[in-house]
Amino acid sequence: MSFLDDFRTMSTFGATPGGGVERQAASAADGETRRWFGGWLAEQGFRVEVDAIGNIFGLLELVPGAPYVLVGSHLDSQPLAGRFDGAYGVLAGAHAARSVRDRAAAEGATPRFNVAVVDWFNEEGSRFKPSMMGSAVHIGRLPLETALATTDPRGVSVADALDAIGGRGEFTGLDVSAYAEIHVEQGRELEATGTTIGLVASTWTAQKLEVVVTGEQAHTGAAPMADRRDALFGAAKLIVAVRELIDGFEVEQLHTAVSEMYLDPNSPVALAREVRMLVDIRSPRQDLLETAVARLRTTIGSIAAEARVEIDIVDVVEWSSGPFLEAGVLLAGEEAARLGYSHRRSATVAGHDATNLKEVVPTVMLFVPSVDGISHNEREFTSDDDLLAGLDVLQSVLYRLCAGELETERTS
């Protein structure tokens, strides 16, 4: 089966009427896709392994005992989202890994490293926060037990959800020499500039603040206005303040949003006693992000006083801005040029598993264009030509990584 045939098959799992997918981490649809992917790997001669947080690895041993170049992304999706985000990178990684094996055999070459493909568990962080969970456990940034004990809004733990889809294993100790990931851009730059391949050269920084607004339940009608400590009123003012933070910065230097909110008791006749919300703040520059968060903290103080509520930041998940390995960017650029594809340096605003892996091994990340720049939406789309162009470049980048290039860049 061709890549496009496989991609069309994979896109049927959790398919939604609007052309997207609903495959949240450890959902039945995620389980279905994982099983299909594991079966595809086994059929193609990969050794399939699963680790304790549900990351799936497909291994091709070309050089007994050698470390592995790892390539992959994630199969889980946001709710009612696109079929390309993550899934494209997992399947392209699998096809690329297979092509490394076949090309080495055809050329009678013995690569320096083995090759493996990975589906990182719960990259999206929609059902279970934080995002990029499986790769964070893999690199030791998030303790396994903490991840397994994390619960979704209905109180189901990661451990139980993975067990419900048979998604846990005991695989450990993969020696990774380098990592590669291809992903849809989820922005407008490649499309706007008519470019086929993005060479990811840097990542924005992000802070995700878990905020709790605490007020007091009271009758929505009878309570005198002067007595009210309405947590939802305080939350509403905070949501506007988060959005208006960007007015103090140059265009596209700060992105902010509040997109997850729970309130109690959520009754039509009782004022909210508590609101929990997730504040997402991102910038290409660390100093601007720090300034924005400092301003927000000040604003929180005045909103709390005005609405007569308490507002607490109870948790912060963050990753810093910074460059990807320059040697990897140059290598990917050489391959895109050799294969005749237009290419340019990109910055990623979204976090990816590569954001984690680049902290521990030489990492190369590629983008392909997103039509209208939209993602986390059923309308997400990348053309077949661009999908195949990305696969073409990924295959040749992966071959060079398996040949040992970037080896000297390994720091750990």
351's contact among ligand HGY, Mn ion, none, with CB below 5 to 8 A by partner kind, is ligand HGY
198's contact among ligand HGY, Mn ion, none, with CB below 5 to 8 A by partner kind, is none
131's contact among ligand HGY, Mn ion, none, with CB below 5 to 8 A by partner kind, is ligand HGY
167's contact among Mn ion, ligand HGY, none, with CB below 5 to 8 A by partner kind, is none
| Residue 125 or 328 having the CB closest to ligand HGY | 125
| Residue 86 or 93 having the CB closest to Mn ion | 86
Closest distance of CB 205 from Mn ion, Å:
17
The DSSP H or E segment spanning 277 is: strand 274-283
125's contact among Mn ion, ligand HGY, none, with CB below 5 to 8 A by partner kind, is ligand HGY
Amino acid at position 187, single letter: G
CB 368 within 8 A of CB 390: yes
| Residue 254 or 336 having the CB closest to ligand HGY | 254
| Residue 14 or 67 having the CB closest to Mn ion | 14
| Residue 124 or 378 having the CB closest to ligand HGY | 124
Closest among 152, 23, 13, 8 to 78, alpha carbons compared? 23
51's contact among ligand HGY, Mn ion, none, with CB below 5 to 8 A by partner kind, is none
86's contact among ligand HGY, Mn ion, none, with CB below 5 to 8 A by partner kind, is Mn ion
| Residue 93 or 111 having the CB closest to ligand HGY | 93
Closest distance of CB 351 from Mn ion, Å:
8
Phi/psi at 27 (5° precision): -75, 170
Closest distance of CB 224 from Mn ion, Å:
46
| Residue 191 or 216 having the CB closest to Mn ion | 191
Give the binding range for Mn ion (CB under 5 A) out of 83-91, 109-117, 212-220, 404-412.
83-91
Binding site for ligand HGY (CB under 6 A): 123-125, 131-132, 350-351
- Token code pair at residue 203: 């990542």
Instruction: Mention every residue, 6+ apart, whose C-beta is less than 8 A from residue 57.
Output: 48, 49, 50, 51, 70, 116, 117, 118, 171, 174
Residue 275, strand partner residues: 213, 263
Locate tokens 């297979």: which residue?
98
How far, rounded to the nearest angstrom, does the alpha carbon of residue 45 sit from its chain's CA centroid? 28
Closest distance of CB 78 from ligand HGY, Å:
8
For residue 119, state whether it binds Mn ion (rule: CB under 5 A). Answer: no
Amino acid at position 281, single letter: I
Q: How many CB atoms lie within 10 A of CB 140?
A: 11
Give the binding range for Mn ion (CB under 5 A) out of 78-86, 133-141, 195-203, 311-319.
78-86
Distance between CA atoms of 360 and 370, rounded to whole angstroms?
28
| Residue 81 or 212 having the CB closest to Mn ion | 81
Give the binding range for Mn ion (CB under 5 A) out of 19-27, 53-61, 79-87, 384-392.
79-87
β-pairing verdict for 197-203 and 343-348:
parallel
The DSSP H or E segment spanning 320 is: none
How far, rounded to the nearest angstrom, does the alpha carbon of residue 58 sit from its chain's CA centroid? 20
Distance between CA atoms of 376 and 184, rounded to whole angstroms?
11
Closest among 274, 213, 279, 215 to 244, alpha carbons compared? 279
Phi/psi at 5 (5° precision): -65, -45
Site for Mn ion in 85-104 (CB under 5 A): 85-86
- Binding-site ranges for Mn ion (CB under 5 A): 85-86
